[in-house]
Amino acid sequence: MKYGKKYADSLKAYDRSKLYDANEALALAVDTAKAKFDETIELHVRLGVDPRQADQQVRGVLVLPNGTGKTKKVLVIAKGERADIAQQAGADFVGAEEMIQKIQTENWFDFDVVITTPDMMGVVGRIGKVLGPKGLMPNPKSGTVTMDVAKAVAEVKAGKVEYRLDKTAIIHCPIGKKSFGKEKLLENFTALMDAIVKAKPASAKGQYIKSVAVSSTMGPGVKINYAKL
């Protein structure tokens, strides 16, 4: 495979076969992020579970100690008092049926997260087929279907992330930006790994954490010695 010059240079900066301590790996991920923009640092965890089994799903949310470095745009589908509260809490867009109409007719998706109240789920369900594939469908498990819209908006703005298993039994999740530096990234990394470990399904057998790696948006993956975690 032919790599770009910056990527090829990054590969020379470390041993691809070596397992690094988390702080070393994060330092390398930052050092090998050579793009002109502030690259996102991502965590990739391969788990020893079967994603086809309903009782072996691994999914959850948490607010990273240092946020994600990205301010997300929040759409709240609510009426009356809850709509007013969402507006005061800092939601970027607030509305009810008119927002559903806007998405349907204008193909409008200028938002990153959708939060709604339980009584509006029937309305939101009308566009489930377009929200679902984009990962935008509100879900009680992720805290995006709730009466406490103020708390939900505040958590998203503070840097809440959702981690979930994909079809290949891997979790991919951002843990911050290159500009955060190693210490802040390590705090976010530790918080997310703790959450993933605690989310181990009771039915999972054998080795739970199979492999752990970090990478920047445009950089190569750096393997972490998960036995030390």
**DSSP 3-state of 21:** coil
Tens-binned pLDDT, residue by residue, of the chain (229 aa): 555 565 655 556 666 778 999 999 999 999 988 889 999 999 999 999 999 999 999 999 899 999 999 889 999 999 999 999 999 999 999 999 999 999 999 999 999 999 999 999 999 999 999 999 998 999 998 899 999 999 999 999 999 998 999 999 999 999 999 999 999 999 999 999 999 999 999 998 899 999 999 999 998 899 999 886 6
Per-residue tokens: 174: 């951002």
Six-digit token string for 63: 């607010």
pLDDT at 4: 59
Q: What is the pLDDT of residue 227?
A: 81
Three-state SS for 138-188 is CCHHHCCECCCHHHHHHHHHHCEEEEEECCCCEEEEEEEEHHHCHHHHHHH
Beta bridge partners of 165: 171
> What pLDDT is stored for residue 12 in this prediction?
60
Instruction: Measure Cα distances from 70 to 39, 88, 151 in Å.
Output: 11, 21, 18
How many Cβ atoms are within 10 Å of 175's Cβ, its own excluded?
A: 28
Give the angle subtended at the CA of 53 by the CAs of 52 and 55, to the nearest 5°: 145
pLDDT given for residue 43 in this prediction: 97
**Cα-flanking dihedrals φ and ψ of residue 115, to 5°?**
-120, 140
Identify the pLDDT of residue 219.
87
